[in-house]
Amino acid sequence: MNSNHPIYLGVMSGTSLDGVDVVAFTPHNNALIAAHSVDFSTDLRNKTLVLQQASNNELHHAQLVSNELADLYARAINEIIAQANLDKNHIQAVGVHGQTIRHRPDLGYTVQLNQPARIAEQTGLNVVSDFRARDIAAGGQGAPLVPAFHDALWRDAAHNRVALNIGGFANISVLNVNEPTFGFDTGPGNVLMDAWIQLNRGVNYDQNGDWAASGTIHDGLLNAFWADAFFHQPHPKSTGRDFFNIDWLQTHLKGFNAIKPADVQATLCALTVRSIAAEINRASPNAAQIIVCGGGAFNLCLLNALKAALPNADIQTANAYGITPQSVEAAAFAWLAARTINHLSGNLPAVTGAAGERILGSVTFAG
């Protein structure tokens, strides 16, 4: 498939560590040309999870995992080019976010595993990477970066909208009429539910939210979770596995040993819903439409609970707006890559808290 307009590719592997999503996108008209996904192997997922925590010889292991990830990214890129019959001469660049293993804007750094030079060698394409670092250098959180894309894609002149991304973590983009776009992380999305079901059932995620739906929410445990200071901080704010992880969960479970595992899962789902609903009610209490993207869009237990918590909003997945939920973040990094290549800013200071708009990312040229 060919396009009369420049094509950009976007690659994303999120905090859920389930696989790589790659899209072909034309920023000229914000059109999705093609989408493709490649699963993580169990081995790669486990090695990446280990690097979320300090470990012996971790610098060496991080470089090896970066190479494996880059090879997987390159494979996904080459596959979508072949499957969609894309003309490489029309592809200006590919935006590759990389895999976050540390995110500490409070200390002035963020780490994404990636090897853009390796990707450029294997694909013959210009690669834009390291999107977060410039925003952090300008005093920002470095995340979320997707709200600028949500604004370009979904802003409506007549209705307040919220774009809700639920991956390992959840974040919102607030698109209120006649107001600047802003957004922030609301807290855990799937990350704690994934960790808990992995620990108890040996699977990577709760398909459809069925296990959570089989349990009963424990109000005392939910209130203990909710007491964490993160949920009550003003925005801008961002978070990651450095903070919300299995250790955080185990600490909060102390004193609640009698609760059934399925009830813990139901309560974790309720925590995700409560944190999202509370922030939407604060940021856009009259939101007419909420557009859900990310893997959480497929968790029916979570979606149904969100609809009950926010009854006045029309809650639909991104499918209703012309793009599959799983493709939105990858498309955002295609769009951000286009901004970088064209010397345009990619951050929103109202979202990240940076001192101003900045051109994001570093470019590795194929030539």
In a domain, 55, yes or no: yes
Whether the per-residue pLDDT at 57 is higher than 90: the answer is no
* pLDDT score, position 223: 98
| 191 and 119 housed in the same domain | no
DSSP 153: H
Domain membership of residue 189 (yes or no) is yes
Same domain as 71, residue 181: no
**Residue 1 belongs to a domain:** no
Count of CB atoms situated within 10 Å of the CB of 105: 23
Question: Where do the H-state alpha helices sit in the chain?
Answer: 42-50, 58-83, 116-123, 133-137, 147-154, 191-201, 210-214, 219-226, 246-253, 261-283, 300-309, 328-341, 349-352
pTM of the model: 0.89
Name the region of 157 (left: φ>0; alpha: ψ -120 to 50; beta: rest): alpha
Residue 197 lies in a domain: yes
Q: In this structure, are 220 and 257 located in the same domain?
A: yes
Query: Each residue of 5-41: pLDDT tens digit?
Result: 899 999 999 777 788 999 999 999 999 999 999 999 9
Q: Judge if 303 and 355 occupy the same domain.
A: no
Residues 108, 192 within the same domain: no
Mean local confidence (pLDDT), 152-173: 96
Give yes or no: residues 82 and 121 share one domain. Answer: yes
Identify whether residues 214 and 353 lie together within a single domain. no
Output the pLDDT for position 136.
Answer: 97
Q: What are the tens digits of pLDDT across the range 265-285? A: 999 999 999 999 999 999 999
Mean pLDDT of 298-319: 97
Q: Is the pLDDT of residue 346 over 70?
A: yes
Asked if residue 166 and residue 314 are part of one domain, the reply reads: yes
Q: Examine residue 15 and state whether it is found in any structural domain, yes or no.
A: yes
Q: What is the pLDDT of residue 52?
A: 80
**Residue 43 within a domain:** yes
Closest CA relative to residue 197, chosen from 186, 185, 182, 208: 208
CATH number of the domain that residue 256 is part of = 3.30.420.40
Two structure tokens written together for 239: 């978070």
Task: Answer whether residue 2 is part of any domain.
Answer: no
The span from the CA of 117 to the CA of 363, in Å, is 10
Domain assignment present for residue 48? The answer is yes
- Model pLDDT, residue 27: 94
**Which pLDDT value is given to residue 270?**
98
In a shared domain, residues 304 and 264? yes
Same domain, 129 and 166: no
Mean pLDDT of 137-165: 95
Number of compact structural domains in the chain: 2
Whole-angstrom Cα distance, residue 148 to residue 84?
Answer: 27
203-227 mean pLDDT: 97
Structural domain range at position 101? 7-142+327-364
349 and 252 in one domain?
A: no
Q: Same domain for 296 and 344?
A: no
